[in-house]
Amino acid sequence: MKTCIWCNKSTPHISFNKKAHIVPQSMGGTEICENVCDSCNHFFGANHDGVPPIELVFKETFNITRARLLGKSNIGKNKALSRFKSVYFNVDFVKNRIDVKPSFKLQTGFQSILCHQFKRSIYKIFLEENERVNGNSRDDKYDFIREFARFNIGDYPVLYYQSKVPFLLSSKDEPQKPNFYFQKKFVYLDDEHGFFDTYYLGHVFGFPIIRNWELVFDNYISQSLKQKERFYKRPISIKYLTDIDLTLSFMNA
Ligand SMILES: [Zn+2]
């Protein structure tokens, strides 16, 4: 019997025929979470009442950084990225300007919706990766992540650490083969501290892994800053995707 980490339903009532990539394949994801049912897998890639799919928002966001890192010479037919195209954004890589396309700007609250979907994508990846590595994602303590990422209940923060220095990639071919890093790079990241940090394409994000995160927030921030202050600025809780330095403007300095 197999049980889905998102809907808690089990076989034979649900099916597990499709491979559920933790990070989308087109974004370099190779790892699979075995315990995601077909219906939940489909959910993350699908449009619901005109709200952008969680997976698409993740791809759109990081494709900007990826295109920036790859540079013009690596974008084209048979290259690392076949083309740079965005559904939601106009991107000016020379001026480091990102703007939501005018047609979307007209929709009330669109920027906030995009950011909300992006935050859900980070929690979605966390719970699936945690299941793959630790096999305990069905634990009650993660119910808030299920509620938020899968059922859109509640709102939880994603903190963004902007780099201070033009030093960021963990390997030279990272833009070609990006990898979401879940290793515990920082010693204070354990269950007791209630927060987790992850690294992707030069960006560092922190997010809570306990529901009552406000209780541990100050402690997390002070410990986190102590470790990161050389390379990262004080984090911001993102409200818009444009809060993230997606074009890596500091690289031009
Ligand atoms: Zn499911």
More confident residue, 144 or 187: 144
pLDDT one-digit tens code per residue, 216-234: 999 999 988 988 888 889 9
Q: Report the pLDDT value the prediction gives residue 41, as an integer from 0 to 100.
A: 97
Q: Report the pLDDT value the prediction gives residue 192, as an integer from 0 to 100.
A: 62
Q: Are 119 and 156 in contact (CB under 8 A)?
A: yes
Sheet with 159-161, edge to edge strand ranges = 195-200, 203-208, 159-161, 236-237
Go through the chain and tell me how many residues it has. Answer: 253
86 Cα to the center of ligand 1, angstroms: 29
115 Cα to the center of ligand 1, angstroms: 24
32 Cα to the center of ligand 1, angstroms: 15
43 Cα to the center of ligand 1, angstroms: 9
Residue 185 pLDDT more than 60?
A: no
pTM for this prediction: 0.91
Residue 167 pLDDT more than 70?
A: no
* C-alpha separations of 92 from 74, 117, 180 in Å: 17, 23, 25
125 Cα to the center of ligand 1, angstroms: 15
**Domain boundaries defined on the chain:** 25-252
Residue 56 to residue 44: CA distance in whole angstroms: 9
Residue 239 to residue 113: CA distance in whole angstroms: 9
Q: Report the pLDDT value the prediction gives residue 154, as an integer from 0 to 100.
A: 97
pLDDT one-digit tens code per residue, 81-139: 777 888 899 888 778 788 889 888 888 899 999 999 999 999 999 999 999 988 999 99
176 Cα to the center of ligand 1, angstroms: 31
96 Cα to the center of ligand 1, angstroms: 39
Residues around ligand 1, an ion, CB closer than 5 A:
4, 6-7, 37, 40
Q: Report the pLDDT value the prediction gives residue 122, as an integer from 0 to 100.
A: 95
More confident residue, 166 or 110: 110
191 Cα to the center of ligand 1, angstroms: 25
88 Cα to the center of ligand 1, angstroms: 28
56 Cα to the center of ligand 1, angstroms: 19
Q: Report the pLDDT value the prediction gives residue 40, as an integer from 0 to 100.
A: 98
Percent of the chain with pLDDT over 70: 93
Q: Report the pLDDT value the prediction gives residue 124, as an integer from 0 to 100.
A: 97
46 Cα to the center of ligand 1, angstroms: 14
When the pLDDT of each residue in the chain is averaged and rounded to a whole number, the result is 87
| Other Cβ atoms within 10 Å of 51 Cβ, number | 15
How would residue 190 be classed by pLDDT, with cut points 50, 70 and 90?
low
More confident residue, 47 or 154: 154
pLDDT one-digit tens code per residue, 46-59: 988 888 999 999 99
9 Cα to the center of ligand 1, angstroms: 6
31 Cα to the center of ligand 1, angstroms: 18
Residue 189 pLDDT more than 60?
A: no
Q: Are 198 and 224 in contact (CB under 8 A)?
A: no
Residue 157 pLDDT more than 70?
A: yes
* C-alpha separations of 233 from 130, 161, 222 in Å: 27, 6, 12
String of DSSP letters for 180-248: -B-S--STT-SGGGTEEEEEETTEEEEEESSTTGGGTHHHHHHHHHHHHTTTBPPPEE-SSGGGS-TT-
Q: Averaged over 198-210, what is the pLDDT?
A: 89
Q: Report the pLDDT value the prediction gives residue 187, as an integer from 0 to 100.
A: 46
